[in-house]
């Protein structure tokens, strides 16, 4: 196909993991690709900085990366050659309970099951099935709705993934196993009584057993830096410090891919879209926000349950019932006094994160969309509940509410780090009901952000599938399926 001359073959707006993945796939096909980033540093949700005290490196958004390590696209890139190194914590995750028990997600299914005692057989049966299926269906599950390569296995996963997490958790008898499952499901940022919330729990558990929940050495920024370095090695170009608000700001290109939310896309290119497409984007739903704290600590967090000290991630929510109620309250616009808190302790395993003998911690809870309520005391009370003495070791803290999160990264509308509600109504039709969710109604314009399937997370699959569609439409290039 002969195309008329343009400044570039492709322009990608935004350098989050999806924008970088899209740009890399395009550049791999020999096209000329430019990434334009609004901030002075690349990365989107993959950024790290000294937020508290000198020498303490904190991850601004994402911190632990099971989906990056397991991504069907990112995992195949030679990122190690460009400085990326992953560290595996002793345990992927821990979930302490008030009664002193703690559920541990270990690398081995058998080891995890053995810890669950009464529920060992149920856990082993469930996760052995899911981990055996996952490598065959990962690319189809982490993508748009289409006929899968392995329909029987895809259906087997779907039957387990479709029920609410509160329903599938009934496979277990003990509160310990149910709590572990509920904590995984709460990553969905919606009530865990909603259908399909079992899916994220199963994916995270399977990822823990197949590839772990690794930490990038030096901070999440290193993932973005490695992706960018690889992209540049292929001949790609990156321009930072240019915040795009209008199509007129872009150089000419045959295709433009936007790693932005539907709200931003409407602002930039809404005048090019059909009335039906605009109508759908205007009604796109965003979900709960987050309130996040980064701590500089004098020593490791003193958890009552010692095994928590071996976990890169700790889920603080106590029982399934408590997590269910907290997430429902948040969804209903309230601020629970005992929220589900996701906590990471990277410096226990990566000594580059803090000065010798000191530590960092990273934590957030879900809050109502756009909330500006100060949740500092509430979150710290929840940590103190499971780690008495925690407050005494805090040297400094940095906080950011949902409104500030959106100001920092305009893709996080109302603090929604998932790029929009990931319920059944938007799971496969995000951001609009179309034959391809990545193709807008305007020729040559595509959306590749977390507001497209499969949604939030550092996996790059939204960018991969959007680029694959644009390659076929605009350049008549077909890319082999993953």
In the chain the domains, ranked by start, together with CATH numbers, are 8-84+216-284+417-475 (3.50.50.60)
429-462 residue pLDDT tens: 899 999 999 999 999 999 999 999 999 999 999 9
220-239 residue pLDDT tens: 999 999 999 999 999 999 99
CA angle 295, 299, 302 (to 5 degrees): 90
Q: Is 377 exposed, middle or buried (0-12, 13-18, 19+ CB in 10 A)?
A: exposed
Per-residue model confidence (pLDDT) at position 372: 98
Per-residue model confidence (pLDDT) at position 409: 95
96-128 residue pLDDT tens: 999 999 999 999 999 999 999 999 999 999 999
Question: Does pLDDT of 481 surpass 90?
Answer: no
323-356 residue pLDDT tens: 999 999 999 999 999 999 999 999 999 999 999 9
32-65 residue pLDDT tens: 999 999 999 999 999 999 999 999 999 999 999 9
Per-residue model confidence (pLDDT) at position 2: 66
Query: How would residue 3 be classed by pLDDT, with cut points 50, 70 and 90?
Result: confident
Question: Does pLDDT of 282 surpass 90?
Answer: yes
Per-residue model confidence (pLDDT) at position 428: 80
CA angle 108, 114, 116 (to 5 degrees): 110
Per-residue model confidence (pLDDT) at position 437: 96
Tell me what the mean pLDDT of segment 263-291 comes to: 97
Query: How would residue 1 be classed by pLDDT, with cut points 50, 70 and 90?
Result: low
Per-residue model confidence (pLDDT) at position 268: 98
């Amino acid at each position: 196909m002969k195309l008329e001359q343009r400044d570039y073959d492709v322009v990608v707006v935004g350098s989050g993991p999806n924008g970088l993945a899209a740009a890399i796939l395009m550049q791999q096909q020999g096209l000329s690709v430019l990434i334009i980033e609004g901030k002075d540093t690349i990365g989107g949700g993959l950024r790290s900085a000294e937020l508290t005290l000198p020498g303490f490196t904190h991850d601004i958004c994402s911190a632990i990366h099971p989906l990056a390590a397991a991504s069907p696209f990112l995992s195949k890139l030679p990122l190690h050659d460009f400085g990326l190194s992953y560290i595996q914590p002793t345990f992927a995750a821990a979930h302490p309970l008030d009664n002193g028990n703690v559920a541990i997600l270990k690398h081995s299914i058998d080891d995890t099951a053995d810890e669950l005692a009464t529920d060992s057989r149920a856990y082993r049966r469930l996760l052995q099935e899911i981990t055996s299926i996952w490598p065959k269906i990962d690319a189809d599950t982490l993508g748009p709705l289409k006929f899968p390569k392995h329909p029987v296995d895809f259906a087997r996963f779907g039957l387990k993934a479709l029920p609410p997490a509160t329903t599938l958790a009934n496979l277990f008898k003990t509160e310990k196993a149910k709590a572990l499952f509920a904590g995984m499901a709460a990553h969905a940022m919606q009530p865990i009584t909603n259908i399909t919330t079992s899916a994220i729990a199963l994916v995270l558990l399977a990822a823990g057993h197949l590839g772990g929940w690794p930490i990038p050495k030096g901070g999440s920024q290193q993932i973005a830096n490695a992706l960018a370095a690889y992209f540049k090695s292929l001949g790609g170009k990156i321009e930072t410090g240019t915040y795009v608000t209008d199509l007129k700001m872009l150089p000419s290109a045959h295709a433009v891919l936007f790693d932005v939310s539907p709200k931003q896309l409407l602002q930039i290119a809404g005048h090019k879209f059909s009335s039906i497409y605009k109508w759908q984007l205007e009604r796109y739903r965003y979900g709960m926000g987050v309130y996040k704290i980064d701590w500089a600590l004098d020593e490791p967090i003193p958890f009552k349950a010692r095994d928590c000290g071996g976990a890169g991630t700790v889920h603080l929510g106590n029982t399934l019932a408590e997590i269910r109620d907290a997430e429902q309250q948040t969804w209903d616009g309230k601020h629970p006094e005992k929220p589900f808190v996701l906590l990471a302790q990277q410096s226990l395993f990566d000594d580059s994160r803090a000065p010798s003998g000191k530590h960092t911690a990273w934590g957030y809870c879900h809050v109502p969309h756009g909330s500006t309520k100060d949740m500092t005391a509430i979150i710290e009370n929840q940590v103190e509940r499971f780690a008495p003495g925690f407050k005494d070791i805090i040297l400094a803290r940095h906080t950011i509410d949902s409104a500030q999160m959106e100001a920092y990264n305009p893709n996080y509308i109302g603090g929604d780090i998932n790029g929009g509600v990931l319920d059944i109504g938007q799971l496969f039709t995000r951001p609009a009901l179309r034959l391809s969710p990545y193709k807008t109604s305007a020729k040559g314009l595509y959306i590749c952000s977390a507001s497209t399937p499969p949604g939030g997370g550092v996996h790059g699959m939204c960018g991969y599938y959007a680029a694959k569609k644009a390659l076929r439409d605009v350049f008549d290039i077909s890319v082999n399926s993953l």
